[in-house]
Structures are given as structure tokens and as C-alpha cells.
A and B are shown apart, each in its own frame.
Chain A
């Protein structure tokens, strides 16, 4: 696979680790519940019950849990792709809808959702067209983004010519293209093989390090959550609820060796033990 190009661009500031615990609250989730009515007239399904959570600015936070725990639902509520049955979500004091309409979210889905009819460059370009950005500005930005994910040589290719891992990197480039303030990732690596996934995890940390965005990362993979996050929010199913929030104090930047330290395994054990009712 293509190696990442780490050339620094002025726009991406180096993250200052000495000061990584920022205090600003980015997202505040208060007493949020989500109930889906059953389509066939059966019992309604409670996807989330009384969720409370504060996410700090610049934080990498994972929502971890088995299927049915409501982690994707919570992400979609923050993204304003769903509206909660009760409770309140604020993003920097605004509603998720305001933030979405201002195009401040970048979302990466479970599959890359590339448009087959557009080349890689034009796929990354798409959200910028929606923002009405000027063409010269778009072109420069696309180049910068493809450089960031190490796919500059593939700009003229069509999606089907790329591997699954490369396609997902295009998805990340597209999400970052409009300079979102919050990056929402919904199991972005779950369809990839273990090798590609571990590679992309390191790449993602490197990109996060450069861009300093708040990242909310949904996963069902414990080791992935521990490796990436500042904090892991453990969700349990039936009904979906927060059963633990675990701070991950592993030093950054993290590399492959980090996965073999005893601390890493301690965190995994701790998280595994915190699941309820699975």
C-alpha cells in the first residue's frame, strides 16, 4: 500500500502534547434518549436511555460497544441525521442542526460512499462544490487533502480502481476537505482486513495530530478504541446506555509497539469488564 506523505503544510499545526488536555467543552449531551417505534406495531425499541456526556475540544473520543448498544445512533444524533426523543445536545452552545447547516461536520461512514462516476479528485471535491467554494481554491485544497492521505498519484483514478483501504482514505480526505470542526467516524475501518486497519489507525492518529479536530469514533473493537482514544465511552445494550467512561493515559504519539505494553492490555481488560448485560 501507498505510504503516507507527511510533508507538513502550514495549515496543519503540530499538536502541542504538553497542553493536550484542553478545557473547552465542544459537545454536551444531556439526558438524551432515543426510542424507535416498531414498524410492525410491536414494542418500541429504546436505542438510548438517559445518556449524559461531555466531549472536549480537540479530544479523540471513542464510542465503544456491541451491536445494538446505540453507538451509531448517538453519532447520528450528534450529526443531526436523527433527532432525539428526549434530552438535549449542544455543540458549542448551538443545536446540532445549526452546526450541520453551517457545514461544520465531516463524516466518515462504514463504507467509503464514493461516487462511482467521479474520479478520486472530484469525489474529494464534491463537498466543496456544495459549499460554493471557488474552483481554484477547490483544486488546491483537493491536492492538499490527497497529499495528506497519501493518494496524490491516484487523483485521476475512478473509485473501483482503488483497494478498500485506499477508498476509505479518500473518504477521510473528503470529510476533511471542508475543514470541519468535528470529525464523526462511524466504524470506518470495520470492513477492512486487520493489517490495513492497523495501518489506517496509525495514519488517522497522524492526521488528527496535524489537524487538531475533535474526533468522535464509533467502533466495536476494544483494541482499536484503546489505541486511538483519549477517552473511551463504553455503551451497553438493551437499552443502550453509557456503562463506563475510561480515560486512556497512554503516551502519544502512539505506534505499533504501544499495543504490546502491559498498560495497553490493562486498559483492554478494564474495558472488557465494564460491559453490562451483553
Chain B
């Protein structure tokens, strides 16, 4: 218990210290920044609260695209892993192809994919989907196939069907890996959605907000969007962790 408190208090005090140094313009002095290059926290908060409604709408635009893409990407990735598991001969090739997508940098992929879809929403969903497929496919394939020694023999000795092996052994065995993939994919999806907005002709969203405001020299407003993006990322991540803790409390990572 003491360790737990220590693990919260120490990083929190470090964060508060950094913000205080930032607010007191110590960082500016140290690195030679002018005030407009790095607005101080109180100014960012003030700007954000003044434009909160617009910021929320932009945030929801991005989050919508990111979540839809996340869900589609995760489902496709998982299905590929299932096919690779049940039909190893040609399914494994599909897995390799999907995994290769992960090696393509989003900044390269995003401008190309933005030409494929008409709407900004479609563009966002497309990029996020591609980004999320790989991690889910690779992780869940591992979860479906890294079985304890003799676990398959046990099922075979009871003459269990492939379907029973899948639902009673592989799928529950895979749950921790699915959560790992989702935890990787949540920040990646937000990032991919924002990057898609950088390159798109869209006029809403977090990515557009950051780009547009910084271009217009409205640094505090640009930073407001960065704050919103961070908050959304943290909230989504915490949500996944809470669900995970309930869903796989038997797993070594949750004890």
C-alpha cells in the first residue's frame, strides 16, 4: 500500500513542479524561449475555457473517427488472427501482409489514403483502421496460439471439437493479448486521426485545430487543442484499464 501511494505521489509532484516552473517562466529563461513560442499554462487554460464549446466539438469529431476506425481495425485484425489460427496454411500469409502495414509510417500513408475517401470522416476512419489492424492481428494471433503445454492434448483427450477448442481454450486464453492490443491501439488511433486531419482538407477536429491555430500564430489556442488531445487519450486509456481489470482479473498482469 505504501508503495502504491509513493507511485502516485512522486510522479504527481514532479508534474506539478514542471507546471509551476513553466508557469513561472523558468523554462523560458532556461531554454531562451519567448512568451509567444510557449504560452504559459494559465493562459492556455483561460483560452481553452473561453473557446470550450468549439474545442469540445472538434474533440468529438476526432474521437468519433478514431473510435470507429479503432473498432473496425481491431475487428479486422482479430478476424485475420482467427483465420490464420484455424487455416494456418494460407491464413498465416494474410497475417504477414497485415503485419507489414504496421511498418508503413502514417505520415506517408495518410496523404495517400486521403485521396481514396471523399469525406474527412471516411479518410480518418480509413487511416485509423489500417494503423490498428496490425497490432491486433499479431497480438491476438499470439494469444490464440500460445497455449499452455498439454492444453490442446487435454481437449483432444476429451474429443473436443475445433469449435469447443476455440471457445473454451483459445478465446479466453487470447483475452489478455486483446487488451494489450487495444492499449497499444487507443493512443495510436488518436494520433492517426489527428495526422489524417493535418493532411486533409477538413476544417474541424483536433489535428486541424492544432495545425490551423499554430499557423495563425494563436499559440494558446493551439495548445488548448493539445491539452484536449492529451486529456482524451488519458481518459480512453484509463477506461480500457478499468474494463481490463474486471475482465481478466485472473491474469498475472492484474494480480
Residues of A bordering B, CB below 8 Å: 79, 81, 100-103, 105, 107, 109-111, 113, 115-118, 126-127, 129-131, 158-160, 178
B251 touches A116 (CB 8 A): yes
> In angstroms, how far is the closest chain A Cβ from the Cβ of B163?
11
Q: A117-B175, A160-B250 are in contact. Are A126 and B159 (CB under 8 A)?
A: no
How far, in angstroms, from A33 to B154 measured CA to CA in the complex?
24
Closest to B172 in A: A117
Residue of B nearest to A186 (CB): B150
How many whole Å from A200's CB to the nearest CB in chain B? 18
Smallest CB-CB separation from B248: which chain A residue? Answer: A117
Task: State whether A130 and B175 are in contact (beta carbons under 8 Å apart), knowing that A110-B150, A158-B250 are contacts in the complex.
Answer: no
Contacts of B172 in A (CB 8 A): 115, 117-118
Q: Is the interface of B mostly helix, strand, loop or mixed?
A: helix
Interface string of B136-171 (1 = CB under 8 A from A): 000000000000111101111111100010001100
Residue of B157, B159, B172 ringed by the most chain A CB atoms within 10 A = B157
The yes or no answer to B16 lying at the interface (CB within 8 A) is no
Interface of chain B residues 158 through 197 with chain A (CB within 8 A): 158-160, 164, 168-169, 172-173, 175
Alpha-carbon separation in the docked complex, A101 to B160 (Å): 9
Given the complex of chains A and B, what is the CA–CA distance between A127 and B255 in angstroms?
27
Q: In whole angstroms, how far apart are the Cα atoms of A223 and B121 in the complex?
A: 72
Q: Verify if B108 is at the interface (C-beta below 8 Å from A).
A: no
Are A100 and B248 within 8 A (Cβ)?
A: no
B158 touches A113 (CB 8 A): no
Tell me whether B160 and A117 are in contact (CB under 8 A).
no
Query: Could you tell me the distance between the alpha carbons of A159 and B251 in the complex, rounded to whole angstroms?
Result: 10
Minimal beta-carbon separation of B156 from chain A (angstroms): 6
Specify the main secondary structure of chain A where it touches its partner: loop
| Pair B149/A126 contact, Cβ less than 8 Å | no
| B interface residue numbers (CB < 8 A to A) | 148-151, 153-160, 164, 168-169, 172-173, 175, 248, 250-252, 255
**B252 proximity list for chain A (CB < 8 A):** 160
Q: When the two chains form their complex, are residues A109 and B164 in contact, meaning their CB atoms are under 8 A apart? A: no
Q: List 6 A-B contacts (CB under 8 A).
A: A79-B157, A81-B156, A111-B149, A115-B151, A117-B248, A130-B159
Query: Is the beta-carbon distance between B154 and A109 smaller than 8 angstroms?
Result: yes
A130–B160 contact, CB under 8 A? yes
Taking a contact as CB atoms under 8 Å apart, the answer to whether A115 and B158 are in contact is no
The answer to whether B255 and A113 have CB atoms under 8 Å apart is: no
- A140 to chain B: closest CB distance in Å? 20
Tell me which residues across on chain A come within 8 A of B248, comparing CB atoms: 117
**How far in angstroms is the closest Cβ of chain A from B177?**
13
A81 cross-chain contacts in B, Cβ below 8 A = 153, 156-157
* A113–B160 CB distance below 8 A: no
- CB pair A111 B150 closer than 8 Å: yes
Which residues on the B side are within 8 Å of A116 (C-beta)? 250-251
